[in-house]
Amino acid sequence: MSAPAPTTTASPAAPTPKAAKGPKVKEEKPKAAAPAAAEGGDSKLTPKQLKEQKKLEKQARRAADKAVPAAPVKPDTDSIKKGKQQQQKPTGASGAQRKGPGPTEKHAQSNASAVNAPPAGQLTAAQLSEAAKDIPLFRHLENPEKRITVGNSHKDVHPAILALGLQMASFAICGSSARCVATLLAFKRVIEDYITPAHTTLARNLSSHHLSPQIEHLRDSRPMSISMRNAIRWLKLEISTMSIDLPEATAKTILLDKIDNYIREKITIADQGIVATAVEKIVDGDVIVTFAKSSIVQMVLIEAYRKGIKFRVVVVDSRPLLEGKQMCKTLAEQGISCTYTLIHALSYVIRDATKVYLGAHAMLSNGRLYSRVGTAAVAMYAKEFEVPVIVCCESIKFTDRVGLDSIVNNELGSPDELINISTSRNQPNSGNLVKWRDVPNLRLLNIMYDVTPAENITLVITEYGSLPPSSVPVVHRLSTNQ
């Protein structure tokens, strides 16, 4: 009988101080569960740590749903009910301000999720979370499978922006210049439908409050191009410098006219100047190699053919976008002699080339070219065979950023695009990688861009003329100050 005696005396010892100190009953109860709550990470954690913990618990629950449970585990419902009762006890102002589950309920919920989540070591390949398929070296880049959709967009996003976001995410609108023009035209519709709220002005409200959710939605749909960033920066500056005394209708008309002038000067007229300069470099008998699809390079080749210059074009393409097929089709319809090949035959076709014409997604401040992945390989082979590399790029694509590799700044495409082994996106052939997510230790990387060193570039043609890659920051300053 001596053994149960300590047990009988120990149990009432704990509630004795609670009964003596009534107001501290609610404080003592979380303290008693402090060690357990610390294990779950709900006690004394920063908001960032709590967010990370919830993310891990969500991944564990998803993995548990995919797994076949050995036996159902019933959560501690008594603790949850007890926590709800304690949460509903306070009345008055303090009770009305209190929201969310109490400490006991949090503890019970964390325990239930921890019990239901299977150990990580026991997960099969089919139960691996999406995070397990991420490549650590590119984990800092945005996951394309987690981009925003129409269903979870902001309530203030304009329908034109919603449609544009879908078109960009599905690559229906592709190319830096095309995306920039489409963005500015969508912003024109946003400005046309904008109504200035009371007690404020258009210059103060339009940029900071109304355009911000539109820009955020485009950024979440797909990472912005350099030309889009430069155009949005210019538009914000124009809005901020408008006089607050202007009537709303007049201010909107001025903004719409400025957007039209910006598109005409920075893209339309700039392309005409680049075409006029680049055509002069093409002579009879040239064999021009180009990669993927560039709208400005396509314009150069068509204009050279219209002037009667006899040359031949080799379009080098790569999966998964296969943009060069459309460019080759357009050139052939114009009557230009074209050869289409994939990038694996680059070392063969580059031997007969006399010039290489490349488009650009952006020109970096250190003279490097940021363009579709595969461009760096084309420029490297061209330098090896002493073929001049000419880049056609508008100044709106210049940036003050410096890039040394393709890792720090890049864009990830969907890895599921790589399982199509067909040469057509409309008639895919999944091949042997259709179940690649179930294969352990197999990861697919679909990066969109690469960086070409400045020493592999012979010439950069802009609307300001021909210049070496080292003069890119100078032209960028000139175009920005205008």
Report pLDDT digits (tens) over 274-305. 999 999 999 999 999 999 999 999 999 999 99
**16: pLDDT strictly greater than 80:** no
3-state secondary structure (DSSP) of residue 310: coil
pLDDT over 50 (residue 71): no
> What's the burial of 170, exposed, middle or buried (CB within 10 Å: 0-12/13-18/19+)?
exposed
Instruction: Examine the pLDDT at 125 and tell me if it is beyond 60.
Output: no
What is the three-class DSSP state of 287?
strand
pTM to 2 decimals? 0.72
Among 21-30, 202-211, 313-322, 351-360, name the one with the lowest average pLDDT: 21-30
Residue 461's identity, in one-letter code, is I
For 45-60, how does the pLDDT look when each residue is reduced to its tens digit (9 = 90+)? Answer: 787 788 788 888 888 8
Confidence of residue 68 (pLDDT cuts 50, 70, 90): very low
CA-to-CA distance for 211 and 367, rounded, in angstroms?
32
Q: What pLDDT, on the 0 to 100 scale, is given for residue 177?
A: 94
* pLDDT tens string 139-182: 889 888 777 676 677 788 999 999 999 999 989 999 999 999 99
Provide the edge-to-edge strand list for the sheet that holds 369-372.
362-363, 369-372, 449-452
